Amino acid sequence: MPVPTPLSTMSAPRFYCPPPLPLGTNCELPPEAAHHASRVLRLRAGDAVQIFDGLGNALDAAIDSIQGKHVVLDNLQAAPARAESGLQIVLAQAMCTSEKMDWVVQKATELGAAEIAPVQTQRSVAKLTGPRAEKRAEHWRNVAVSACEQCGRNTLPQLHQPQELGTWLNEMRHAPGSKFILLPGGAGNLQSQPKPQSRVTLLIGPEGGFTADETNVAQQAGFVPVLLGPRVLRTETAAIAGIAVLQTLWGDFN
């Protein structure tokens, strides 16, 4: 059997494999992961890799053989999980253009968001329903998978299908944890708010901002208006900056 290349766990290439993960036996990478390993990364027999199932489990392994489209792993051993945040962050992002939404999903995943809920507002540029919404949600999941492979997370964030803001807010009325809505005229900053117990939901508006009615409904659902400094941020900037602030104040950035 090839001797694994001496790479650290964090530097070894990581690949998503649907559950359940095998243990103590050979396994074959899924076709897409195999293609990336052999054709893109040009890995060879003996190279160290890591596989994860998106549910929090990961295995260190070594490449046993590469034959065409087939990449077989061997020497599978349980790997410790250490990249998940103790603060459960739910990002509710108003729908924006496809490129910006991809960027938000990617960076929110890297920053440790536990859930991402796309919401459709009155001023949202993109509107998705039915099969288009399902297809886009699957695309976002793939974006999140790639982000997890890169950043070391073993748990995929829960990605919801797009919902109308009003419907989502109605569901959130009795949701646990702290709830914040980012508004240019927010009453205060996040630092002045009480520390969340475990779960915090952050609602980000569209490029044109929330309407007055949407803001009122959100506040009635328990969302506290906050701001991020004196400048008006783009929607995709606000989402990532907001998560970073939450992680700095109460999560694993401190």
Domain residue limits, the chain: 14-78, 88-250
The answer on pLDDT for 126 being more than 80 is: no
Place of tokens 């070894």: 12
Query: Among 50-54, 110-114, 134-138, whose mean pLDDT is lowest?
Result: 134-138
Domains 14-78 and 88-250 share a fold: no
For residues 114 and 122, is the Cβ–Cβ distance under 8 A?
Answer: no
Mean of the pLDDT values across residues 114-135? 87
Using only C-alpha atoms, the chain has a radius of gyration, in whole angstroms, of 20
pLDDT (0 to 100) of residue 10: 54
Query: Among 42-56, 120-134, 143-157, 234-248, whose mean pLDDT is lowest?
Result: 120-134
Mean of the pLDDT values across residues 74-96? 92
Summarize pLDDT for 190-220 with one digit per residue, the tens.
999 999 988 999 999 999 899 999 999 999 9
pLDDT (0 to 100) of residue 9: 46
Mean of the pLDDT values across residues 89-96? 96
Nearest to 215 by CA among 174, 166, 176: 166
Give the whole-angstrom CA distance, residue 88 versus residue 111.
11
The answer on pLDDT for 76 being more than 60 is: yes
Mean of the pLDDT values across residues 86-93? 97
pTM for this predicted structure: 0.91
CATH no. of 14-78: 2.40.240.20
CB atoms within 10 A of CB 67: 9
Q: What is the mean pLDDT of the chain?
A: 91
Superfamily of domain 88-250: SPOUT methyltransferase, trefoil knot domain (3.40.1280.10)
Element (H, E) at 116: strand 115-120
Mean of the pLDDT values across residues 92-96? 95
pLDDT (0 to 100) of residue 4: 43
- Dmax over CA atoms of the chain, in Å, equals 66
- Per the DSSP assignment, residues forming a β-bridge with 117 are 92
Mean of the pLDDT values across residues 139-163? 95
Summarize pLDDT for 175-194 with one digit per residue, the tens.
999 999 999 877 789 999 99
Summarize pLDDT for 24-48 with one digit per residue, the tens.
778 999 999 999 999 999 999 999 9
Q: What angle do CA 163, 169, 172 make, to 5 degrees?
A: 110
- Provide CB contacts within 8 A for 14, sequence distance 6+: 49, 50, 51, 52, 58, 148, 149, 150, 152
The answer on pLDDT for 101 being more than 50 is: yes
For residues 63 and 37, is the Cβ–Cβ distance under 8 A?
Answer: yes
